A and B are shown apart, each in its own frame.
Chain A
Amino acid sequence: MFLQKILESYPISEDYLLEILLDIDKQKENHYISKEEITLISNHLGIKESHVCSVVSFYTLLSTNPRGKYIIQICKDVPCYLNDDFNVLKTVENELNIRVNDTTRNQKFTLEYTACIGCCDEAPAIRINNITYTNLTKDKVVNIISDYKEGKHD
């Protein structure tokens, strides 16, 4: 099983918890860590489930709920907000026809807020999986989303 492989690729120490979690997230199309996986990880590392849950819930990169193949994260911090002469969130919501924290019915997209992603000088910014898009305009956002819809990143 892929989880076992990931676990065995690290020393048994809670120091590697975050790496393990990120690896699992990467391998899973629906980008989430299941309850069963949390139990297995905590047993393997000899730590409590509460500890693993706490870490998963702290990082916006991770989730305990199934998410879409592409996770669109919208920065919630001040510079992005101030630079926002159009509304990034509204634009994405309209394009995908979902609200924040929802996943599209075809399981392709999840829309989330995130804390600052470190691009304040190029705000507004969004991140889709590992790619960050900056200096956004309304047209740019519409194009980016339609590229993903058309499968250009699949």
Chain B
Amino acid sequence: MVNLKINNINVTVTDDITILEAAQQYNINIPTLCYYPDLHINSDCRICVVEIEGYKGLKTACSTPVREGMNILTNTPKILNSRKTITELILSNHDASCTSCIRNMSCELQSLAKNLGININRFENVLEKKEIDDHNPSLVRNANRCIKCGRCIDVCKDVQAMHVLESMGRGHEMEIKPAFGRYLSDEFCTFCGQCANVCPVGAIIEKDNTDIVWEKLYDSNYHVMVQVAPAVRVSIGEEIGLETGLISNGKLVSAIKRLGFNNVYDTDFSADLTIMEEGTELINRIKTGGVLPLLTSCCPGWINLAEQEYPEILPHISSCKSPQQMFGTLAKTYFAEKENMDPKKIYVVSIMPCTAKKYEATRRELRIDNKTPDVDIVLTTRELGKMFRQMGIDFNQIDEVEFDNPFGISTGAAALFGATGGVTEAALRTVYEILNEKPLEDINFTSVRGMKGIKETEIKLGDLNVKVAVSHSLSNARILIEEVIAGTSPYSFIEIMACPGGCIGGGGQPYGTTNEVRLERIASTYLVDGNMVYRKSHENPSIKKLYKDYLIEPNSSMAHHLLHTKYSPKNI
């Protein structure tokens, strides 16, 4: 432990932390801009500077370690002046059209300027406008708003091992962009959106589809239905200013109903269906000596990586469509037939924690009879929050409402899809019971839970001891995939999610998704599971009925036709 003084307050902390972390422990606020809790410390913005007695010049609190006896001041006129100058300089090279920016009121630069009391800029604006990249369905990159903090580079390079974005050039001419300034669509970008999630300003944002949805909601030619992904119910609270990890089911449904959707359905339902299909696929591959390990297919960020960089791995990937796409297919076939509706008049909206899902919905392979897309449009959790604000919905003033049927009943297993390890746990609960024809003693697979990068477990299926692995974030995925390609993978089943923590940590989730926040959302996810009547996908009564009435049995030719897909190598 070391003792020091910050603003004349005695502080005792461990010796392995920075001045910033020490100050945070004592609720002393030091402003930051480039710093982001789980990422590499670049210390390039110099907003966090402090004065330390006996040290020359100002020091950056985010990168300077604490030392015994330090006497630190965080808010002297000299510091304030320096922070103001930096902020004014950033603003002088920034498209600060805040009122028409998606980050208005959620922007870190804007609140910094406000908190520093900047009410005039001494510097003239010298911004040279650059082209905006909106050439893909998921993300928009607006370099005119980039403040060069480097967070997107770090998350893309270190966490995702994609390294799409880098700093190009030097000095004041430095820009952050892909190689040769290419569009993201011309890169091996997975559209995971982690860069958008950590960007402090409006320089990388999701492609906003809310206007299209409002149009459709008021167009009487369409029957507009919506599905809500598992991970959204544990994060929407943050988006609307309520507590982190709040579990919102009834109120979420009720609020979405108020937006005017004809039906509000649950992606958890099609997650159960995915387990039936994928679980059966695993059983068949084990029984018939098929290609193993079987790799999960529900994450489009991961599918993008596989198609772009690992063509050899494609035969390992489950042919199951993702839960989002299975839902869309059923809406436009099963539901349409039942309700005697023209599938072209059914408009399917998804609320997802994910920007890659926006891309997934546009895939040519994911259309019914090659024409009608399974899912018409995807909104992120953040865009849903935007629609609530546009409508003036106050969660404190609304009742709880249940999801509509037939796609509203689901299990705890499906709820787990939101968290890393969840698909595996759900799959094992079902596969074990189907193969071994007896109930599982303990349905909680705690060794695949939590934020560890690669997790594994073993289970007895029939006479076989089967090893299973789970990875989240693409840097970890690469480790497992490269083992498979090298022929050294000991596993029979591998779950891969592109985002750290799984979809609860997705690129479309509320801003401020740090690992600490991820853990809270994960904890809530397991609470949701624990509180469900049914906790195994094969026990879902609606799923049983769906097979009985329509699909016959898992992996039937009907199921194959509707619920499975193909992958192919992709070049840029």
Contacts and interface: CB of A to CB of B under 8 A. Distances in A.
Interface of A: 35, 38, 47-54, 57-58, 64, 115
Max chain B C-beta neighbours (<10 A), residue from A52, A57, A58: A57
A48 B171 CA distance: 23
A58 B179 contact: no
A58 B163 contact: no
A54 B164 contact: no
19 contacts: A35-B180, A38-B179, A47-B163, A48-B162, A48-B163, A48-B164, A48-B166, A48-B179, A50-B165, A50-B178, A51-B163, A53-B180, A54-B168, A57-B170, A58-B167, A58-B169, A64-B180, A115-B170, A115-B171
Interface of B: 162-171, 178-180
Contacts of A51: 163, 166
A38 B170 CA distance: 19
B171 A50 contact: no
A153 to B, nearest CB: 28
Nearest to B161: A48
Contacts of A50: 163-166, 178-179
Contacts of A53: 166, 168, 179-180
A47 B167 CA distance: 15
A58 B164 contact: no
Nearest to A39: B179
B178 A58 contact: no
Contacts, number: 36
B376 to A, nearest CB: 34
A50 B166 CA distance: 6
A58 B170 contact: yes
B163 A57 contact: no
A109 B180 CA distance: 24
Nearest to A60: B170
A120 to B, nearest CB: 18
B179 A49 contact: yes
Nearest to B162: A48
Given A50-B164, A54-B167, A57-B169, 4 more contacts: A35-B180, A47-B163, A50-B179, A58-B170
Nearest to B178: A50
A42 to B, nearest CB: 8
B141 to A, nearest CB: 14
Contacts of B170: 57-58, 115
A117 B55 CA distance: 30
A52 B164 CA distance: 12
A36 B410 CA distance: 52
A88 to B, nearest CB: 20
A51 B162 CA distance: 11
Contacts of B178: 50
Contacts of A49: 179-180
A38 to B, nearest CB: 7
Contact of A54 (B162, B166, B171): B166
A53 B163 CA distance: 12
A95 to B, nearest CB: 26
A57 B171 contact: no
Contacts of B168: 53-54, 57
Contacts of A54: 166-168
A61 B4 CA distance: 46
A33 B80 CA distance: 44
Across the A-B interface, the 3 shortest Cβ-Cβ residue pairs: A49-B179, A50-B166, A48-B163
Nearest to A38: B179
A104 to B, nearest CB: 24
B545 to A, nearest CB: 49
A58 B178 CA distance: 14
Max chain B C-beta neighbours (<10 A), residue from A47, A48, A58: A48
A144 to B, nearest CB: 27
A49 B179 CA distance: 6
A51 B180 CA distance: 11
Nearest to A58: B170
A51 to B, nearest CB: 6
Contacts of A52: 179
Contacts of B167: 54, 58
A82 B168 CA distance: 29
Contacts of A48: 162-164, 166, 179
A57 B171 CA distance: 11
Nearest to B173: A57
B65 to A, nearest CB: 28
B382 to A, nearest CB: 27
Contacts of A38: 179-180
B62 to A, nearest CB: 23
Nearest to B171: A115
Nearest to B167: A54
Contacts of A115: 170-171
A35 B168 CA distance: 15
B151 to A, nearest CB: 16
A60 B365 CA distance: 46
Contacts of B162: 48
B309 to A, nearest CB: 11
A37 B164 CA distance: 18
Max chain A C-beta neighbours (<10 A), residue from B165, B166, B179, B180: B179
Nearest to B177: A50
Nearest to A35: B180
Nearest to B188: A48
Nearest to A48: B163
A51 B163 CA distance: 8
Contacts of B180: 35, 38, 49, 53, 64
Nearest to B165: A50
A35 B180 CA distance: 8
A115 B169 CA distance: 12
A46 to B, nearest CB: 11
Nearest to B175: A57
